[in-house]
Structure 1
Amino acid sequence: MAYLESIKVFVRVVELGSITSGGRDLRLTPAVASKRIKELEARLGTRLLNRTTRKLVPTEAGRMFYDQARRVISTLEDAEASLAGIASNPRGTLRVTAPLGIGRRLVAPLVPEYCEAFAHVDVRLRLSDRRVDLFEEELDVAFFLGTPRDSNLKQRKVADVPRVLCATPEYLERHGPVSNPRDLMEPAHHCLLLRFPRSPDYFWMLETEDGPRKIVANGRFDADEGDVLLNWALDGKGIANVPRFEVKGALKNGELVEILPETPPLPSVLTCLYPHRKLQDPKVQGFIDFMIPRCRAAMDA
């Protein structure tokens, strides 16, 4: 059992790039995780990891061992899932990712409730607005806002997510009103843009009487996290394009004002993505079944 645990630590360290991150993911201190790696190297009689200035990288032997070890762990996880399905008792570790706004406002508040209902499942929640690779990062479920491109993933729709353009009254007083979509392309206005590595060329799609219209929005500020953009908007720095449920309270109390309500942004679609091989895993299916109606109710509240 100790050998298997050491293998699990090694695999997560390789995937996350550091002993601290790999240990944290398995709820181990860096000292314990480091000890497990040393024990594994001693057992195998070879060095598995090299330290660079920024991260740990596997040696040639380490890469070979990782490829085989990952398959072994996946096989064991699938076997465990099969038995759990027979017993109708989901168990194991569930690795979940979500965009920041969706994760903080919808998913995270529901995780404790889920864990109370399914006492044998541990949830590891990772929040990021960057695109993630479910296979590379060994994730079980991803909440995705937009149109998934990976046909190798199964998907279940959670809900349509209406979006809104908004800014503070103070911002509009300083920079002038936005009376038509063309104003968003003028230097007088600052659209707050979500950008991340390998993101597509930035534009906003608005609903008009003549159908969807592509607007190349003008903006001085961009960030790779949606909550940063929302905070900038609340601070009067520009115009945000955000899910309506995230700013419902701010619109109601007047902190933010809706812009161009007659030509709003096209709605997004929130989906749950998961690898095909997780199709029969009861903890994956149970988690998604649990989350979908509760996420819908939270957005409508």
Structure 2
Amino acid sequence: MWAVVLVLAVVGVFGFWTWWMSSGPGAFAVVPTGIVGTSAKDADTALASVGLRAHQTEAFDDVVPDGDVVSVDPSEGDKIRKDGTVEVTVSKGVENHTVPAGLVGETKDAALASLKKNGFDAVPTPTQDYSDKVPAGHVISVSVDPGTSVPHNSPITVVVSDGPAPVTVPQVKGSDQDDAVDTLKSSGLVPQVTKQYSDEVPEGTVISQDPQQSTTLHRGDTVQLTVSRGPEMVVVPSVTGKHTAEAKKLLEAKGFKVKVNKFLGGVLDTVRFQDPDGKKKAPKGSTVSLTVF
């Protein structure tokens, strides 16, 4: 009887042990802790020590260094059947992308779309700056040279043009032409000079400007300057020997004023002398003096 009891006990223990190891708690292993952040080789060793296999895959990661474990599935501390496989994700480091060419001169939207298309997801809001050469809304510069391979989360700065800077037109009316031109150029404006005769404004002096002072323009805009040629010079007709009326008519037709000085009452009504002399040049509108005998 005791022998039977002993045999049954042995059989029961054996059966329990078999169940424990095949279907019960003894059939499972626990995924070791401390694997994440270690090297891929150390992860393999740790898993093998508890009877588990490792299946490694690689993925980019912005934090975990290249070659170290990013994650495991099942997670650390979880149970898994012995001889089971643990998926181990190993870091390839930070993902790099190449900065595309042709961004400078593109529109802002096109440049940002190109960067996004090439895998950059950390491009900050573009900064604005004035430019005399790049049209408003187009890219002036990019902080990383095209063709450069950099991490996908690199802060790439894109500078976009606001067009030419605003300029307040200075006062140049009444200035010498050279001074006026220099003043406008130093303000980034383009002077355009036309000349006309003037009896009041000295030669070489600015008669007028358009637009007027204090007007807001932009660098590269044009300011029209009208500069004095001085009085128009006209050849004085020779009227010596002519009667007074004819002489006056000829002189006035050329734009001169006439002053008649009669000698002995101008009895013969004939011009004997004139000042300035005939065939000389004098300012249009000036006075020609006649001495009439």
TM-score by length of 2: 0.20
Larger Rg: 2
TM-score by length of 1: 0.19
Richer in strand (by share): 2
